[in-house]
């Protein structure tokens, strides 16, 4: 019988371990709160305690297998393959992917874009404001309910905080399914057009950090960034030296090639600074990496 896992990672440990180090039988990393500005705020943590939330993916169900369906899906389809994909991407002798490898790289990055807590947190903050506006309007009009998308929501004998908490609980399993559906649709678009580039920092650069929301988005063709836009460039640090780019507008003849971009001097410095700034902007609560890399980031941050 499948066991119910309560503590669920929204950034996989298979990814986090490449920003960590072995300590006895476990892997540890270093963490910096996003709002912190001094080195004393950096703390060590076992990766089992990083980027997780209780019952984040748990669905309604009759048994553990049904409740763990999403957690199992992510594990079997992506997390178990991550180490092999990582080794391929950092291998300087590997210059071309198979069809299966190309699809797995694309699908892993896209699901990591959508599966983090930040998207749901952003939606919850938005919906909290919607509920607050409706709640105050009801109070002003002397009504004890309002309608949202043809659903009647009662406010009788309830505070705004009660209402917001109840809606978050009710919406939670719908949200995690919705973001997975969005990811799967985007994967089917991007596997036909995305090329792969891996940048590597040379000459002892300060090093890449990652975060609790590690996939960043950029787009030279649109002022407004939309996660589902297939013309976005998606970037994710693989470790302190390597940065993966998913580049749109590739074609069948070149999309499976790995473009390797070894950066030195000012190019290395610029890419390092840009990626770390994007991780800082992306992060919900924490930046993650080696202790010295985080200290280097704080020096970079003071110049931003």
Structure tokens at 53: 């939330």
- The domain spans of the chain are 7-301
CA dihedral (3, 8, 9, 13) positive or negative: negative
Q: What is the pLDDT along the chain (304 residues), one digit of tens a residue?
A: 467 888 999 999 999 999 999 998 999 999 999 999 999 999 999 999 999 999 999 998 889 898 999 999 999 999 999 999 999 999 999 999 999 999 999 999 999 999 998 888 888 888 899 899 999 999 898 888 888 877 888 888 889 998 898 888 888 888 899 999 999 999 999 999 999 999 999 877 789 999 999 999 999 887 788 888 999 999 999 999 999 999 999 888 899 999 999 999 999 989 999 999 999 999 999 999 999 999 999 988 877 7
Per-residue exposure over 169-197, b if at least 16 CB sit within 10 Å of its own CB, e if not = eeebbeebeebbebbeebbeebbebbbbb
> What whole-number distance in Å separates Cα of residue 72 and Cα of residue 86?
21
Closest to 289 (Cα-Cα) out of 111, 113, 43: 43
């Amino acid at each position: 019988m499948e066991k119910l896992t309560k503590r669920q990672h929204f950034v996989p440990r298979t990814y986090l371990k490449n920003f960590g180090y072995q300590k006895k039988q476990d892997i540890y990393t270093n963490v910096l709160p996003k709002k912190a500005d001094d080195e004393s705020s950096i703390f060590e943590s076992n990766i089992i305690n990083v980027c997780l939330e209780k019952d984040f993916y748990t669905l309604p169900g009759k048994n553990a297998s049904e409740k763990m369906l999403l957690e199992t899906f992510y594990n079997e389809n992506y997390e178990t393959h991550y180490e092999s994909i990582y080794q391929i991407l950092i291998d300087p002798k590997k210059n071309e992917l198979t069809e299966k490898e190309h699809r797995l790289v694309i699908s892993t990055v896209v699901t990591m874009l959508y599966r983090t807590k930040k998207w749901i947190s952003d939606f919850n903050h938005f919906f909290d404001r919607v509920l607050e506006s409706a709640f105050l309007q009801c109070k002003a009009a002397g009504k004890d309910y309002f309608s949202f998308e043809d659903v009647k929501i009662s406010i009788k004998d309830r505070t705004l905080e009660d209402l917001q908490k109840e809606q978050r609980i009710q919406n939670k399993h719908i949200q995690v399914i919705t973001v997975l559906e969005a990811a799967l649709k985007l994967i089917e678009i991007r596997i036909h057009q995305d090329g792969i580039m891996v940048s590597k920092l040379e000459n002892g650069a300060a090093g890449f950090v990652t975060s609790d929301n590690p996939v960043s988005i950029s787009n030279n063709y649109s002022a407004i960034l939309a996660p589902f836009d297939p013309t976005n460039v998606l970037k994710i640090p693989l470790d302190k030296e390597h940065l993966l780019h998913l580049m749109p507008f590739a074609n069948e003849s070149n999309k499976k090639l790995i473009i390797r971009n070894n950066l030195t001097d000012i190019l290395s410095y610029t890419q390092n600074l840009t990626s770390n700034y994007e991780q800082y902007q992306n992060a919900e609560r924490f930046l993650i990496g080696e202790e010295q890399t985080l200290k280097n980031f704080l020096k970079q941050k003071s110049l931003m």
